[in-house]
Amino acid sequence: MQTFTKIISGLLLTASLVGPADLAQAAPKKDFKVAWSIYVGWMPWGYAADHGIVKKWADKYGIKIEVTQFNDYVESMNQYTAGAYDAVTLTNMDGLSIPAAGGVDTTAVIVGDFSNGNDAVILKDKTQLADIKGQSVNLVEFSVSHYLLARALESIGASERDVKVVNTSDADMVAAFQTADVSSVVTWNPLVSSILENPSAKAVFDSSKIPGEIIDLMAANTDVLADNPDFGKALAGIWYETLAVMTADSPEGKAAREEMGKASGTDLKGFEAQMAATKLFDKPADAVSFTASPELGKTMDRVRQFLFAKGLLGNGAAYADVIGISLPDGSVLGDKANVKFRFVTDYMDAAAKGSL
């Protein structure tokens, strides 16, 4: 309590010493912090930081951008939500359930890709999805794996009532599948590839069956972005320059993919296999088209209904409309007075037009 009192007293003293004119003349924000975590679609951020691409674009706009890798994906989002970072890599579902549901207005600056096979339902000694009925399913509860399971069950006219979900850390997933007690898992790459090396493992459903629903983003604090649009432009510039290198059929491109693969715990072959299971929007015009498509609204409606059913739209959320989701055409899913998650095409479109 004493510490809290000191903080309040300090804030009051500061307010009494700083007048409106001083506040109006406050220096614009120049330093920005970006958090990212290991995943095939986010590896370009680490490469860009290591190879001077981040600095190049930051310098162009007279700012500084610090890019930090997190080994714990959830922690990276928690740190962003707490205000320690200005932008973070996350999925469309997690962006809604963590920062947006936590009250942090968040904008998807870059729609980078969607999972097109990287996430999978895997059974042991069974070959049909219908065989999952009655089984215990190990997965990271309330993650995109949980969502994939729900969509898989829906595809065969079943529901979560037909299985038992066992919450399992992604760090333990590969080892868990080797045990006699575990017969079914849902996870993502590179864990999927590791598990499928077991002769008894069979992928019976994957994200290619629900294309465009598990979307990987670079998202930023909406207020920070509004006050500092050059930050968003720099992020877009970094992203598309790095993708041009990553996807190039050249010695430089191969070296980049090999480096990203090693950094993510695999090799060139493994990394390229993961890329093949990812719909990567290496051309900004394609990202704009995908984001502006009516299908995005349908996907986000399905995602928010899932999150509401799991109680993940904030404490005491009485309905799925509690959080507003703004789409590029200006329409809003949910509460227009409480928009906390936004999809825009501005920065990707600027990249497509060469106007960054």
pTM over 0.85: yes
Whether the upstream peptide bond of residue 190 has omega within 30° of 0, thus cis, is yes
pLDDT of residue 3 exceeding 60: no
If residue 340 lies in a helix (H) or strand (E), which one and from where to where? strand 339-343
Alpha helix (H) residue ranges in 39-128: 43-50, 53-60, 73-81, 92-95
Per residue in 102-114, pLDDT (tens digit) is 999 999 999 999 9
Place of tokens 């019976």: 204
pLDDT at 108: 98
Tell which residue, 204, 85, 198, has the closest CA to residue 152: 204
pLDDT at 26: 56
Strand, helix or coil for residue 332: strand
| 265, HSE (Cβ side, Cα atoms, 13 Å) | 10
Per residue in 278-328, pLDDT (tens digit) is 999 999 999 999 999 999 999 999 999 999 999 999 878 899 999 999 999
pLDDT of residue 174 exceeding 60: yes
